[in-house]
Amino acid sequence: IDFKIITNDGTHESMKMLIDLKNIFARQLPKMPKEYIVRLVFDRNHESMCIIKDNTKVIGGICYRKYPTQRFAEIAFLAITATLQVKGYGTRLMNKFKEHIQKQDVEYLLTYADNYAIGYFRKQGFYQEIKMQLDRWKGFIKDYDGGTLMECYVHPTIDYGN
Ligand code: ACO
């Protein structure tokens, strides 16, 4: 298992992986309009961390946007392919992601969690109580009423590695 940060850098390899990831998101997040998923996954302000099996096969990932001046990142989409869910990959992905984002000086993660994913996010250290000051994030991320806003504090020195 490998974890890779993929951006829309125009290379064939990145394109292929982002298309695979987009297809996993589209299937696992059926309430999300497909065009919206495509737009964000290929948007230059967004990055994705992919979990890759056997060197080439994307089995899941997380698409996010960093707001460096505000020192937070928003998780837009997160999913593991259906047949490999509840085997611990989602937890490993989140730990790797925290390890990565910590090095980028990000202090908080925000996400609009689907109602059935709230339990997963709680286990990953996300809370419905938002500790970040309102003016630091309000207006930066889009309001979205299809989910519950959750926040995770990323400690600057904890070792999230796994
Ligand atoms: N509700 C409650 N608990 C859950 C859920 C859930 N939906 N999914 C997993 N868990 C629990 C597991 O039981 C496990 O608990 P344990 O540690 O006590 O055993 C823990 O969370 C972690 O489980 P993993 O095996 O690491 O999770 P998995 O690999 O299945 O990944 C994920 C979790 C990403 C939510 C996956 O199930 C998935 O892709 N679901 C469909 C798509 C989805 O809901 N994505 C999130 C939408 S919100 C958003 O994208 C911003």
* Residue 85 maps to a domain: yes
ipTM over 0.95: no
Atom of ligand 1 nearest to the CA of 76: 51
Answer yes or no: is the C-beta of 79 below 6 A from any ligand 1 atom. yes
Closest CA to 42 of 61, 26, 73, 21: 21
| Element spanning 137, H or E | helix 134-137
Closest CA to 77 of 128, 38, 122, 108: 38
151 is catalytic: no
Q: Is 19 helix (H, G, I), strand (E, B) or coil?
A: helix
Q: What is the pLDDT of residue 146?
A: 81
Closest CA to 130 of 109, 114, 116, 145: 109
Calpha distance 141→161 (Å, rounded): 28
The residue from 13, 74, 107, 151 that is catalytic is 74
Q: Which two structure tokens, joined as six digits, stand for 148?
A: 């519950």
List the CATH number of the domain containing 70.
3.40.630.30
**pLDDT under 50: residue ranges of the chain:** none
Instruction: Give nearest CA residue, ligand 1 atom 10.
Output: 120
* Residue 160 maps to a domain: no
| Residues facing residue 48 across a β-bridge | 6, 63
* Residue 8 maps to a domain: yes
* Residue 100 maps to a domain: yes
Give alpha helix (H) positions in the chain: 12-28, 34-42, 89-103, 118-123, 134-137
Pair 37, 29: CB distance under 8 Å: yes
Q: What is the pLDDT of residue 127?
A: 98
* Residue 134 maps to a domain: yes
Closest CA to 52 of 109, 115, 104, 4: 4
* Residue 162 maps to a domain: no
Q: Which two structure tokens, joined as six digits, stand for 39?
A: 């737009």
Q: What is the pLDDT of residue 162?
A: 57
* Residue 38 maps to a domain: yes
Calpha distance 123→111 (Å, rounded): 14
Instruction: Give nearest CA residue, ligand 1 atom 47.
Output: 114
Answer yes or no: is the C-beta of 57 below 6 A from any ligand 1 atom. no
Atom of ligand 1 nearest to the CA of 80: 39
Q: CB under 8 Å to 99, separation ≥6 — which residues?
A: 159, 160, 161
- Please give the tally of structural domains in the chain: 1
* Residue 159 maps to a domain: no
Expressed as residue numbers, the domain containing 117 is 2-153
Q: What is the pLDDT of residue 18?
A: 98
Q: What is the pLDDT of residue 22?
A: 98
Atom of ligand 1 nearest to the CA of 82: 39
